[in-house]
Amino acid sequence: MRSVRALAAFPFLAMLVGPFFLNRVTPYVFGMPFLLAWLVAWILLTAAIMAVIFRLDPANRDGSE
């Protein structure tokens, strides 16, 4: 389970370190500058990663809902 929770570090690192290397304007993605598209993509990926972590967490499998 510890390795699954380590997935939560990926969005943090992508949003923290990514702008230092990807701060460009010229390639546009869906009409947005590349850095903005990168951040929007990672916001959506963060939600997906958190859903995976929630599903795989044994504390959420007891069925008491």
Query: pTM here?
Result: 0.77
From first to last of its 65 residues, the chain has per-residue pLDDT tens of 677 778 889 999 999 998 898 887 788 989 989 899 999 999 999 999 999 888 888 777 766 55
Q: What is the DSSP string of the chain?
A: -HHHHGGGHHHHHHHHHHHHHH--SSSEETTEEHHHHHHHHHHHHHHHHHHHHHHH-GGG-S---
- What are the residue boundaries of the structural domains of the chain, listed by start? 2-60
State residue 1's pLDDT score.
62
Q: What per-residue confidence (pLDDT) applies to 43? A: 95
Q: How far is CA 8 from CA 12, 25, 42, 50, 65, in A?
A: 7, 28, 12, 7, 25
Give the pLDDT confidence score for residue 65 in this predicted structure.
54
**Tell me, what's the pLDDT at 39?**
93
